[in-house]
Structure 1
Amino acid sequence: MTTNDVTEARGTDRRPPTLVFVHGTNSSSTLATGLISELTLRGHRAVAVDLPGHGRDAFYPRSYQAPQDLEGLATEPSPLSKITIDDYVEHVVDVVRRARRHGPVILAGASQGGVTVSRVGNAIPELLERVVYVAAYCCVDLPSLSAYLETPENAGSLLANVTGAIAADPAALGVARVNWRTADPERIDGIRECLAGGFTDRQMGHLLAMLEPDETAAIPLTEARGQAHTWGRIPRTYVRFTLDRLIPPALQDRFIAEADRLTPDNPTDVRSVAAPHVGPFDLPELVDIFAELAGR
């Protein structure tokens, strides 16, 4: 199938689509397990990918294990320091190409996963039926994720509650190393307030156990803008999380507005779910949204 064939086929290929889901920072496909399972049980094709250095390839420093060696945690090298956004994009492009052999592909990303979604959309717009941002960074006017952290719309973010748990200098190690295994109850409550407002202690324990300590530090600084002539051709949906304290709703709305100004003939399909930043992603209303998009 040629590029032109695929472009012409968007919206006309009657085979069921495959949802490809990209996780966010310090995370893995595990956080989307519930969503993928629910969609599969409803008869949809869905897969969550592990980006390079995550999931089965995640790195857990020896100093991260109990009893923790905090001095070692601040200095122990990480293989993720050599991973770049190009590695993420190459991996997801390969997954999309394989899935596209069997029908249309919907590419979704959560949080920092939105950077990868936009870059993949720039690279292979003809292979994507739709892109979906789930409380995700969707950079358009400003060049990088980090640039949006300085905007007025981000003023309500509680990101500092998480960065306060960073155990090493990202500039020195090349990774953002978060000590999710901290025993400090105030730190845990701060992380909960930022990422998981309303989670019970048991839910919070599960979340902290699933998160991974290391994330390549370069991603927030990388060029992340969707381009009008590539990414801008793809139908897109933005799922707003109205209880998000990491990416405030005001910043999510800015992403939507910027995208719509860039491509006025391709406006964003906007949905809203009353959820904190990490969902969970198997919330019935979120599953319903993806089931509807997959069933179009």
Structure 2
Amino acid sequence: MQNMPTFVFVHGAFANSFSFAPLQAELALLGHRSVAVDLPGHGFEATFPSAYQAPQDLNALAAEPGSIKGVTLADNVAHLVEVLKRAKQNGPTILVGHSRGGITITAAGNARPELIDRIAYVSAWCPVDLEVAGYYAEPEMAEVDPGAFAPAIVGNPAELGLIRTNFRTADPATLAAFKQAFSADLTDDEFRTFLNTFQPDENLDVGTSTDRAQGTTWGRIPKTYVRLANDASIPLVMQDRMIREANTLTPDNPFEVRTLEGSHLHWLVRPKPAAELLANLAAR
């Protein structure tokens, strides 16, 4: 057991450790251990105001404080490093990030590369040449319209100190925008089930230029990028751009690239192919 790697999963925005339960079950059946991290203010630390329940009171929801206010990327990294320290006592670690979780695992790789035996991105942000906010202005993101979600934003993020999204909206146009962005290839029931695992609040800190991948630290870690071929949230062209930038930064340690079919959330809802891919990484 000592040489058996532990998968450490880091979720994306508005998500939590619950997202990984089906994938962890598949990995366990293949004989692999894993832990899914709840970053600060996520999971059972999340705020679900009574105004978020039905019938909703959107005016009250817009003013309700949230526990994630003030949480920073540095807080996320510090929490993740403590998990990695404990996991490392039992053998190698494979750190896996999805979506916005890529920002956190990149910063952790910069800070403590010795705790990570392989770092893996599944359609996750891997900022190299730009900060994540800068990538949204690039041509590869031209077909992504963040404004489509604007009707679901509740309150003023600057005043709340967080981003609050009403995932329990009944507005058909907003729900259609969510589904198109995250899970166009899932059934309506699968989509709504996943949507109900999301929490309403997310922190504001997506990092600065100092949190981009650093060749001398992060660049030493063996790395894999799992492309999601039908992702409308981080399009394939953007995934490929980040892979190219990382390979330019560390030409002697390029990404091993794999591809899974499906949308941004498909691999978590129907996880068997992803589990088999990850198990192959562990075997090597």
Same fold, TM exceeding 0.5?
A: yes
Q: Find the counterpart in structure 2 of residue 4 from structure 1.
A: none
1:90-127 per-position Cα deviation (integer Å, ceiling 9, x unaligned): 11100000000010001010000000000100111112
2:44 pairs with 1:28: no
Alignment deviations for residues 154-191 of structure 1 (CA, whole Å, 9 cap, x no partner): 11224333344211221221111110000111211111
Q: After superposition, give the CA deviation of every residue in 1:31-72 in whole Å (9 maximum; x if it has no partner).
A: 111111110111111111111111111111222111111111
- For 2:116 and 2:150, locate their aligned partners in 1 and report how far apart those are by CA, in whole Å: 34
Specify every segment of 5 or more residues in structure 2 that has no aligned partner in the other structure, as ranges. Answer: none
- 1:218-233 counterparts in 2 under 5 A? 218-219=205-206, 223-233=210-220
Report the residue type matching 1:136 in the other structure: A
Query: What secondary structure sits across from 1:210 in the alignment?
Result: coil
- Indicate if the aligned counterparts of 1:159 and 1:194 stay in contact, CA closer than 8 A: no
Contact 1:23 1:49 survives alignment (8 Å):
yes
Question: In structure 1, what is the equivalent of residue 34 of structure 2?
Answer: 46
Do the aligned residues in 1 keep the contact of 2:73 with 2:207 (CA within 8 Å)?
Answer: no
TM-score for the superposition, normalised by structure 2: 0.96
Aligned residue pairs total: 283
State the SS of the aligned residue for 2:129. Answer: coil
Deviation at 1:76, TM superposition (A): 1.5
1:152 Cα deviation from its structure 2 partner:
0.8
Consecutive aligned runs of 4 or more in structure 1 exceeding 6 Å deviation? none
In structure 1, distance between residues paired with 2:260 and 2:17: 21
Normalising by structure 1, what TM-score? 0.92
Letter in 2 for 1:121: G
Quick one: distance in 1 between partners of 2:199 and 2:155? 14
Matched, 1:77 2:65: yes
Give the CA RMSD over aligned residues.
1.5
Aligned letter for 2:276?
D
Structure 2 vs 1, CA of residues 163 and 40 (structure 1 numbering), >3 Å: closer, same or farther? farther
Among all aligned residue pairs of Structure 1 and Structure 2, give the percentage whose two residues are the same amino acid: 44
Q: Give the aligned partner of residue 174 of structure 1.
A: 161
1:132 maps to 2:145 = no
Worse-superposed segment, 194-203 or 132-141? 194-203
Which residue is 1:266 aligned to? 253
1:88 alignment partner, one of 65, 71, 76: 76
* Superposed displacement of residue 222, structure 1: 7.3
Q: Secondary structure at the match of 1:270?
A: strand
- Give the unaligned 5+ runs of structure 1: 1-12
Q: Which stretch of structure 1 is more off in the superposition, 158-167 or 116-125?
A: 158-167
State whether residues 102 and 121 of structure 2, in contact with CA within 8 Å, keep that contact through their aligned partners in structure 1: yes
* 1:37 aligned partner: 25
